[in-house]
Amino acid sequence: MPTLAGKETFFAGRVTAEVQIGAMAGFERPGASNQDGADESARPGRRRSGGMGGGMGGGPGGHEREQDDTERPRPSRLRMQGDGSPPVAIHLRLTNESTGPVDVEITDFNSALGNFAVQPSHLVLAPSQSREVEPMGSQLANDATSGEISLSLRLDGVKETKILTVQAKPAPLAAPATN
């Protein structure tokens, strides 16, 4: 399955939602590079957040875990599909495009790949801040090159639902051959 991506704005441009779907999909972490193999859990700059690990289902969690604000959450172990292909990871990132802080609630995330209880369901974002929720895994992937996701967000007591169209990301351009 190719990596699919889509983007939509909510609340008159105050919040942008981005989705990436694929076996190796995920958002780049600005300035984050841990190529030395060190355990990031021991690094400074960690914060505590409540919530359930594992990504799907359930209500609010009863335990705390550490997570770096710039660190992309890691999916729990995903099982192979019946045909031997890996499940896909679904990544959702919200960005505050406004000049003040926002407290956004993710109320619904529904697609042909499944209907998900997004964790965490609330994100508090400073101006220009982006945060990704825990990746969600789906066993329902196929060779789709496009699809639709119904996403509902609540901000300041107002709920807005939009359809995000996801399409195959273009393959990176190969470097020109040198002779």
Per-residue pLDDT tens digits of the chain, which is 179 residues long: 788 999 999 999 999 999 999 876 566 655 544 333 333 333 333 333 333 333 333 333 333 333 444 444 443 333 334 455 678 899 999 999 999 999 999 999 999 888 999 999 999 999 999 999 999 988 876 667 789 999 999 999 999 999 999 998 876 666 676 66
Structure token digits, residue 147: 């699809």
Please give the full DSSP string across 60-79, using - where no structure is assigned.
S-SSEEEEETTSPPPPPP-P
Question: How far apart (Å, rounded) are the C-alpha atoms in residues 69 and 72?
Answer: 8
Q: Is-contact 131 67, C-beta < 8 A? A: no
Does 2.40.128 match the CATH number of domain 4-29+50-168? no
Q: How far apart are CA 15 and CA 11, in angstroms?
A: 6
CB 22 within 8 A of CB 178: no
The pLDDT value given to residue 175: 66
Q: Residue 28: what pLDDT?
A: 64
The tokens describing 117, both together, are 């209880």
Please give the model's pTM, rounded to 2 decimal places: 0.66
pLDDT of residue 65: 37
Helix (H, G, I), strand (E, B) or coil at 164: strand
- CA distance readout (Å), 173 to 6, 23, 153, 169: 20, 20, 35, 12
